Amino acid sequence: MQQENLIPHLFRTEYSKIVAVLYHSFNLKHLETAEDIASETFLKATEVWSIKGIPENPTAWLYTVAKNKTKDYFKHNAVVEKQVREAKQLNDIEAAQEFDFSDQNIADSQLAMIFAVCNPGNSAEAQICLALQILCGFSVEEIANAFLTKTETIKKRLQRARANLRNGDFQIKILSDAEIKTRLESVLKTLYLLFNEGYFSRTNNQLIRKDLCSEAVRLAYILTENSLTNTPEANALLSLMCFQSSRLDARISDKGEAILLEDQDRNLWDQELIEKGNHYLVNACQGNEISKYHLDAMLAYWHTTPTDDNKWQHILQLYNQLIIIEYSPVTALNRAFAFAKVFGHEKGIKEAEKLQLDEHAYYHSLLGYLYADVNSDKAIHHYEKAVGLTKSRMEKQTLSKEIKRLVEKKAGG
């Protein structure tokens, strides 16, 4: 991988890990210190690698530089501020033969950090926003898209949340069983949004970002391996991620265009991941709990079970339940799509138009799809609206191709 691609990739995959490990292991006083050191590490990588070339093990290089920068930070504070405690801490660190940047310590640090950030001192939305920014490396724009809200709203929410953490003497500590259970809902929502941004990116030139999907799966797996967090909801979320991940390679053509579910080459579906999805879905169904993640996982199950004649009836019923548990524009639009599959496109159009989500790109792309065989002029109109509203370059290309197909069909017909 070339440097111009490698550093952004490593920033996405390693930045949050470095922040978590530094803060967790060095017991830094302020979260911003760990973030600054991580940022400086990547800045140094940009400078050094452009002159000396990419090192043999770029990830190990980053961790080594981050560790040394942290030690320099403690030395500076010990000299300038004469902080005896920090100087002693530095000696303890240097006494260790090797600092632990193992996969296990990274996983433990990230899990500890995400539970620490999901502090009930902030609202649930603010907890999730912070976790997405600090642990998942999301930009303000990406968080705004995840919450379907304005960037200014997210900026203010993050500023308040960070201030609350500072004022509350934020630190990573051992949580009680009750605290873990209280915070688990926000942790699961964070991983859900992380996976969704990877599965269908609205702010990146790539429609699919496998690194985000893999990171979400990895963290969800850690939850199911811990006795305190191995809940039906956690298993349902991991099941959903496995089912969705199984179709990643079939969702994009060689030209980088999105491929609808019904047009996908099922030979490209990963059967091992589908089996894992089934496994975790069975685990999730221990007891009587039915959460949003259970319903989403069941929906994903039916999407990977193409042989059942009543598949879309099952899917529509699940969306009927899901929209009651947690309404969202995306859920309502997905339900309208399933409704059209069961009752036909004309009835589906009426169902979709009831939603009146005129500023939503998916609303217009759905109506474009439903109108395609009913009224090509209206289909083109809605596709054009969707092109204007979406921020995804890949989605714009796919929609534009469909507009061109309809125009050519109209001219030839």
Q: What is the DSSP string of 303-345?
A: HT-TT-TTHHHHHHHHHHHHHHHS--HHHHHHHHHHHHHHH-H
User: CA dihedral defined by 72, 78, 80, 83, rounded to 10 degrees?
Assistant: 140
* Per-residue model confidence (pLDDT) at position 1: 61
- The answer to whether 210 and 248 have CB atoms below 8 angstroms apart is yes
Residue 411 C-alpha from the chain's centroid: 42
Widest CA span in the chain:
83
Predicted local distance difference test score (pLDDT) of residue 198: 82
Give the pLDDT score at 232: 95
Nearest to 332, CA basis, from 358, 355, 353, 299: 355
Other beta carbons within 10 angstroms of residue 282's beta carbon come to 11
pLDDT of residue 324: 94
pLDDT tens, residue by residue, 85-140: 554 455 554 444 355 666 776 767 777 778 878 888 888 888 888 888 887 777 88
With a cut of 50, list the residues of the chain below it in pLDDT.
Answer: 80, 83-84, 87-88, 93-97
The length of the chain in residues reads: 413
**In degrees, to the nearest 5, what angle opens at C-alpha 215 toward C-alphas 5 and 234?**
165
pLDDT 10s digits, 387-412: 999 888 888 888 999 999 999 988 87
Task: Classify burial at 95, counting beta carbons within 10 Å of its beta carbon; exposed 0-12, middle 13-18, buried 19 or more.
Answer: exposed
Phi-psi region of 326 (alpha: psi -120 to 50; beta: other; left: phi over 0): beta
